[in-house]
Chain A
Amino acid sequence: MLDTVLKGKQGYWGWLIFLLAIMGVGLGCYLYQFQEGLRITGMSRDVSWGFYIAQFTYLVGVAASGVMVVLPYYLHDYKAFGRITILGEFLAIAAVTMCILFIFVDLGNPVRIMNVLLYPTPNSILFWDMIVLNGYLLLNLFIGWNVLSAERKGTHYPSWVKVLIYISIPWAFSIHTVTAFLYAGLPGRHYWLSAILAARFLASAFCSGPALLLLLCLIVRKVSKFDPGKEQIRTLGGIIAYAMLLNVFFFILELFTAFYSQIPGHMHSFQFLFSGLEGHGRLAPWMWTAAGFAFVAVLLLVIPATRRKEDTLAIACVSVIIATWIDKGLGLVIGGFTPNPFGRVTDYWPTTPEILITLGVWATGFFILTVLYKMAVSIKEEVGA
């Protein structure tokens, strides 16, 4: 099947070379970080996780969202999604790979990463996160590859693949639940210490991931002869609408608990994020931008006319991605560390090398995604689906 990725038009190669260039810059910056240590980032003893872990958290959501096309097809026999399950699975592979890379670039001592396996520690949530993420990667690799190669040969995939598919459904929920548990079980970090965090993570995953998938479907339709289908896109729109509403609802629940109870520790992070604390308000414009985009997204998704029209639906999807990315890829981690254990505020902002390494990892993910999608789409064109 890899033969299909070696034949492509100029645009395909140009895009891959563009991604390779960004990956190269990212790698160069990473070598600099490897040499100098994480001091080249904006992180500090107070905000000891930053942009990398935030991207990781966001992308676990994107990875988990593949289940939103797999579940209706296999559990509810919703036939239409059979056309695009492979796109969901391949998106998951690219996203999990980025997750693992983001964890790796965040380690102070990456050469010792195997210590996690050499000294397995079941009481650490990070140990379980390693298991569920790698497991999810393998599941999607096996499932995606086998289903696609069977489709190419015009046969049915082997029955053991079906078992893996059924396992992969709860597994998708587990990766984001375990990732939420990384945060939600830490004493003294009020912004994270919330029973609804895992549910909130899943809701934001199931709107942001399908939103990205929907945009990818529109791109696939534009650049290839394979059409993911009108009905498929419309159903995805409905899923995104429900998940985004849940996401916003869960966030409002957090606001209610914090501000009606008036417990200072519960309010501080929100105050810091949305209006600034002790004169530190750098994130406020970002958080209000997220709120604005969330509002636009909800509006466009709830009104049937705008949800069903593909161009307004695409705008809604872009809004969902921006809103959820700021919420999870910026606010969640920085807000959780602020104020610090002494009640003080330390500013954090990613440095240029940190941003370039981040872009390098994103480019690596999109490189993998492009190659996998090229394979899937070529085979779909070949069998004339």
Chain B
Amino acid sequence: MGIDRRAFLKIAGLSTILGLGGKAAFDILAPGELEASTNAASPGAGKRWAMAIDARLVDDKVISEATSACHRHHNVPDLDSAKEEIKWIWEEDYEHSFPGHQHEFVSDDIKHAKFLLLCNHCSNPPCCRVCPTKATWQRADGIVMMDPHRCIGCRFCMAACPFGARSFNWGDPRRVTRVPELVAKNQGFPYNKDYPTRAKGVVEKCTFCVDLLEKGEQPLCMTAANKVKKGSFTFGDLSDPESPIRSLLRKRYSLRRKFELGTNPNVFYLI
């Protein structure tokens, strides 16, 4: 009666090939695992990540620590050229962070305040709308992602981004290890062996440290900034009314860059 081992293996093998055994096998061997990996197709669903930066607390030290933490983790090269500059987070003054907002009588502390600019991870991102290859797209939690392996380098996203948040690799970024004038400025490049360097001809930008968020950690700029000035950066989920960022935004007046364009930026500047 029944089937021998050989016949069982045949049936099991065939049904696996046909994709019949898959789900059942997962249910028995690792309950819940499959659920997790299918959810990974839309990671962070139900969340809306956002960042609040307190302009009163941002100083030179915060700027240099946050910038270098980000740029070293993501292997952003220093190309020593305004034209080819690659930057994920950078310093800007009030007038140029919020063009059109400044007036001659603005208070001194705002006039001389320093702002840290980065990708706004807009809820309605024009960059994703224009990309012809889906190389840039929006995750369910709102993070605007960039796939440097699919990007064809058309730079339509750079024309579409009203925040100048995107950088293009006009040349090979790895040349900072070869070109003598650049080697000194980029000692130890690539700084983070676990993070891929990019190739020439692709666009890149801030990812809200999605690799760290998935491990339950926080974006690096925030960690570094808060080490210098506690509370200068707040990161969290806007869809959760109890999250620290929501209560902060309830209490403090905040600005967003070019909100009138309808892209719905998710980086807030507390004034």
A residues within 8 Å of B by Cβ? 36-39, 41, 43-46, 48-49, 103, 106-110, 112-113, 115-116, 118-119, 121, 123-127, 130, 182-183, 185-189, 264-265, 336-337, 339-344, 346
Contacts and interface: CB of A to CB of B under 8 A. Distances in A.
A187 B132 contact: no
A263 B193 CA distance: 49
Given A37-B169, A187-B263, A107 B154 contact: yes
A265 B100 contact: yes
B252 interface: no
Query: Closest 5 interchain pairs by CB?
Result: A108-B153, A188-B162, A108-B201, A343-B99, A39-B171
Contacts of A112: 133, 150-153
Interface stretch (B3-11, B38-46, B79-87): B79-87
Interface string B143-164: 0000000111111101111111
B170 A38 contact: yes
Interface residues of B, number: 48
Interface in B39-74: none
Interface in B99-134: 99-100, 126, 129-134
A103 B155 CA distance: 11
Contacts of B168: 38, 45, 48, 108
Given A45-B83, A46-B164, A115-B133, A37 B159 contact: no
Given A109-B151, A126-B154, A187-B126, A37 B132 contact: no
A113 B152 contact: yes
B201 A186 contact: no
B20 to A, nearest CB: 30
A341 B90 CA distance: 14
A344 B97 CA distance: 11
A108 to B, nearest CB: 2
B133 A187 contact: no
Nearest to B156: A126
A108 B170 CA distance: 8
A189 B158 CA distance: 11
Most buried by A among B129, B154, B199, B203: B154
Given A108-B202, A124-B132, A130-B132, A37 B172 contact: yes
Contact of B85 (A45, A108, A339): A45
Given A124-B129, A186-B126, A265-B100, A341 B84 contact: no
A123 B125 CA distance: 12
A36 to B, nearest CB: 6
Interface string B197-216: 00111110000000000000
A339 B170 CA distance: 21
A43 B170 contact: yes
B200 A108 contact: yes
Contact of B161 (A44, A103, A341): A341
Nearest to A336: B159
8 contacts: A48-B159, A48-B168, A108-B153, A113-B152, A126-B130, A126-B156, A130-B132, A187-B263
Contact of B201 (A38, A182, A189, A346): A38
Interface of B: 82-85, 92, 95-97, 99-100, 126, 129-135, 150-156, 158-164, 166-172, 199-203, 258, 261-263
Contact of B131 (A38, A121, A341): A121
Contact of B129 (A44, A103, A123): A123
Contacts of B126: 186-187
Given A108-B153, A108-B200, A341 B100 contact: no
Nearest to A118: B133
Given A37-B172, A116-B132, A126-B132, 6 more contacts: A44-B170, A109-B202, A112-B133, A121-B132, A182-B156, A186-B159
Most buried by A among B95, B100, B170, B263: B170
Contacts of B85: 45
A188 B261 contact: yes
B158 A45 contact: yes
Given A124-B132, A125-B130, A343-B95, A109 B152 contact: yes
A107 B262 CA distance: 29
Contacts of B152: 107-110, 112-113, 115-116
Contacts of B133: 112, 115-116, 118-119, 121
B113 to A, nearest CB: 15
A119 B156 CA distance: 16
A49 B160 contact: no
A340 B83 CA distance: 13
B155 A341 contact: no
A44 B83 contact: yes
A186 B99 CA distance: 18
Nearest to A124: B132
B150 A115 contact: yes
A186 B171 contact: no
Nearest to B173: A37
Most buried by A among B134, B159, B167: B159
Contacts of B99: 339, 341-343
